[in-house]
Amino acid sequence: MASIHIDNLHKVYAGGVQAVTGISLDVQDGEMIVLVGPSGCGKSTLLRMVAGLETISSGTLKIGDRVVNNLEPADRDIAMVFQNYALYPHMTVYNNLAYGLKNRKMPKAEIDRRVQEAATMLEIAPFLDRKPRNLSGGQRQRVAMGRALVREPAAFLFDEPLSNLDAKLRVQMRVEIKQLQRRLRTTSLYVTHDQLEALTLADRLVVLNGGMIEQVGTPMEVYNKPASLFVAGFIGSPAMNMISADYLREKGAVFPKSLPEGTDLIGIRPDELTLVPPTGDQLAVSGKLMLLEPAGAESHLYIHLEGSDQPVVMRVSGVPDMQDGQTVQMHAKVDALHPFSKATGRRTG
């Protein structure tokens, strides 16, 4: 068990590509941090620097009280779960789990105890004699986790571990990882590009973009108060609607309080737009319904704002009785609005 201190970390590849630019982050002991962002945002590079698989160009990395910048991965007391599992195809499940322990010259009895324990915990005990190719995707995933588990490391590093699974299995494994982490309380860094995975798994999540941190916070903080246009667009699905403040004023929307200084964009989440007027301070806009997309328990309404053709998305429960092309009146509570500055890309209040 240990905390991880990341202080002003930089990664510059040979050839000058800047992958990570001055990231600082403190991971508390026992905390699960999810690094999320689009591909190329530097999240994997950051994780691999922590693992020791990429060299650190500058900055300091501490695991526990040790500076580990120049230690081999094996000496950092971390374990990693890879995207494609990276199981050794020619070894049995048992040997896959035991390999790292054998390399550390652990006594046979202790290896056996740990392997059996992890296998029981992950329900892979019946497969210990099989080769990875004879396992299903979900079972391989468990073996990969088991390999990390038996090490009893100071920290787990997860590199998009669920992205090779089908949708149903992904949800199931997500829940299991969460439960396991809760139980073991091992410090974890988890990389994903899936915002839903990030929201559900994280104690705190870190949104990365272009090699820099956009926002750090609990899932609800990040969802309810996105710090930038980028975060607002990335977290939440369908993405937040962005409407210019001038347009809203023009259409007669009355902002009861004056907007924070510099605000020229208003973000409204699709589910914060309603067909019936809510109580309290609110604003209303209308538009033309382009497409109604029923999705089971809810429907998505694709609407072009009146007089601007700007598309907005609404999420309503059930399937409303509407025709394509008809005019739709939309309402939103004023306290549900997210004010942003187009110029800085940041939230204004």
Partner 1 sequence: MVENNRWGNFFAHLVLIIGVALVVFPVYVAVIASTHPSGTFLRGVMPLLPGPNALENYRTVIFEGRSRAGTPPIGGMLWNSFIMAMAITIGKLSISIISAFAIVYFRFPFRIFFFWVIFLTLMLPVEVRIVPTFQVVANLGMLNSFAGLSIPLIASATATFLFRQFFMTVPEELMEAARVDGAGPMKFFKDILLPLSITNIAALFVIMFIYGWNQYLWPLLITTDPEYYTIVMGIQRMVTGGDSEPLWHLVMATVTLAALPPILVILFMQRLFVKGLTETEK
Partner 2 sequence: MQTKRSTFSNKWLPYALLAPQVIITLIFFVWPASQALIQSVYRQGDAFGIRPPTFVGFRNFMLLFEDALYLNSLKVTLIFSVGTTLLSMSVALLFAVMVNRMIRSRDSYTTFLVWPYAIAPAIAGVLWWFIFNPNIGILPYVLQGVGYNWNHRSSSNDAMILIIIAAAWKQISYNFLFFLAGLQSIPHSLIEAAAIDGASRMKRFWTIVFPLLSPITFFLMVVNIVYAMFDTFGVIHATTEGGPAQATNILVYKVFRDGFVNLNIGSSAAQSVILMGIVIVLTVVQFRYIERRVNY
Which residues in the 78-137 window bind partner 2 by CB under 8 A? none
Euclidean distance between CA atoms 71 and 53, whole angstroms? 10
Q: Binding of partner 2 at residue 269 (CB under 8 A)? A: no
64 binds, among partner 1, partner 2, none (CB under 5 to 8 A by kind): none
Tell me which of 48, 76, 151, 269 binds partner 2, using CB under 8 A.
48
Place of tokens 């324990």: 117
Binding mask 1-40 toward partner 2 (x if CB under 8 A, else -) reads ----------------------------------------
Q: Binding of partner 2 at residue 53 (CB under 8 A)? A: yes
Q: Binding of partner 2 at residue 54 (CB under 8 A)? A: yes
Euclidean distance between CA atoms 23 and 33, whole angstroms? 14
78 forms beta bridges with: 155
340 binds, among partner 1, partner 2, none (CB under 5 to 8 A by kind): none
Residue nearer to partner 1 on the CB measure, 146 or 270: 146
Q: Which of 67, 79, 66 is nearest to 144 (CA)?
A: 79
Residue nearer to partner 2 on the CB measure, 80 or 253: 80
Please answer whether residues 265 and 243 qualify as being in contact, where contact means their C-beta atoms are separated by less than 8 angstroms: yes
89 binds, among partner 2, partner 1, none (CB under 5 to 8 A by kind): partner 1
Euclidean distance between CA atoms 94 and 113, whole angstroms? 11
Euclidean distance between CA atoms 345 and 349, whole angstroms? 12
Residue nearer to partner 1 on the CB measure, 100 or 320: 100
40 binds, among partner 1, partner 2, none (CB under 5 to 8 A by kind): none
Residue 257 burial class via C-beta count within 10 angstroms: exposed 0-12, middle 13-18, buried 19 and up: exposed
Least distance (Å) from partner 1 to the CB of residue 77? 11
Handedness of CA 316, 320, 325, 329 (dihedral sign): negative
90 binds, among partner 2, partner 1, none (CB under 5 to 8 A by kind): partner 1
Place of tokens 């072009």: 304
Residues that bind partner 1 (CB under 8 A): 51-53, 72-74, 78-80, 82-90, 99-100, 103-104, 147
83 binds, among partner 2, partner 1, none (CB under 5 to 8 A by kind): partner 1
15 binds, among partner 2, partner 1, none (CB under 5 to 8 A by kind): none
Least distance (Å) from partner 2 to the CB of residue 52? 9
Contacts with 76 (C-beta within 8 Å, 6 or more apart), sequence order: 51, 52, 63, 68, 154
CB neighbour burial string for 307-338, b if at least 16 within 10 angstroms, e if fewer:
eeeeebbbbbeeeeeeeeeeebebebbeebbb
Of 47-55, 156-164, 175-183, 282-290, the window that binds partner 2 (rule: CB under 8 A) is 47-55
Strands across the sheet containing 311-317: 273-274, 327-333, 282-295, 298-305, 311-317
Least distance (Å) from partner 1 to the CB of residue 86? 3
Least distance (Å) from partner 1 to the CB of residue 165? 16
Of 3-11, 46-54, 110-118, 269-277, the window that binds partner 2 (rule: CB under 8 A) is 46-54
**Residue 347 DSSP code:** B
Of 48-56, 87-95, 189-197, 241-249, the window that binds partner 2 (rule: CB under 8 A) is 48-56
Q: Tell me the two tokens of residue 344.
A: 């800085």
Phi, psi of 181 (to 5 degrees): -65, -40
292 binds, among partner 1, partner 2, none (CB under 5 to 8 A by kind): none
Residues at the contact surface with partner 2, assessed by CB under 8 A = 48, 53-54
